[in-house]
Amino acid sequence: MGFLFFIFHSVSFMGSWNTVAFFGSSFIISLILEIVGTNKGYVFGKYSYNKTLCPGPFVGNVPILIALSWSGLIYMSLSCSNLILGTEITGVFPYSVIILTSSFITILDVILDPIAVDEGRWKWDLPGKYYGVPLQNFIGWFFNTTVILLLYNLIAKNDVPVESHSYYVKYAPAFLFIILPLIAARPCFERNLKSAGIIGISFTLFLIVASITSPL
């Protein structure tokens, strides 16, 4: 339901072509890089998914739902970046939006990945010091998001729909992204992942303040 909402929202603000370009490229690139990561150890480090705890079909040892999740998370982060920077939702993203979006995604993973590792959904061959997550994984998240948005810009069109929407409809994905770290903080504390939980609460507070003081 949430993914369908993002597609509908994207069509309304970015147009049909850009919607296909964004969600298509984010899904394909994420899936390819995940496959490379799980099988070769590049990008994110060498890791493996638990097929019992990760639902849905697998392609190249990677759950398809993981690639879909990438698309949804990046879209929410894009909306949040536009909100905070005071930029309009257009077909082609400014570099400032791309960098901020990639940064937000990476910070979010600092909160989400420890939960998944603690649940046993995936694990690294060489665990890192941060709840078993290696530093390379976070670099990979920033890299993956940046590559997706840069490649999307190459095929995006600027003739986006010009329609009147309310502020809350326009930035609905951003509001979802803002509360996501706070929601994830609860299971962090329940699993004694205190540092991740504190980062989750702090990140949500930062996003709230940043959105309130945005130029919009």
**Calpha distance 133→110 (Å, rounded):** 9
In angstroms and rounded to an integer, the radius of gyration of the C-alpha atoms of the chain is: 17
pLDDT greater at residue 12 or residue 193: 193
Mean pLDDT value of segment 138-144: 95
The answer to whether the beta carbons of residues 101 and 78 sit under 8 Å apart is yes
Contacts of 166 (CB under 8 A, 6+ apart): none
- Split at pLDDT 50, 70, 90, the class of 162 is low
Per-domain residue ranges of the chain: 2-212
Q: Two tokens at 140?
A: 């990979």
Residue 158 has pLDDT above 90, yes or no: no
Q: Two tokens at 164?
A: 């009147």
**Calpha distance 95→102 (Å, rounded):** 11
Mean pLDDT value of segment 180-205: 97
- Split at pLDDT 50, 70, 90, the class of 170 is confident
Residue 216 has pLDDT above 70, yes or no: no
Residue 51 has pLDDT above 90, yes or no: no
The answer to whether the beta carbons of residues 178 and 80 sit under 8 Å apart is yes
In this structure, the chain runs to a length of: 216
Mean pLDDT value of segment 48-68: 89
- Split at pLDDT 50, 70, 90, the class of 166 is confident
Rounded to the nearest integer, the mean pLDDT of the chain is 91
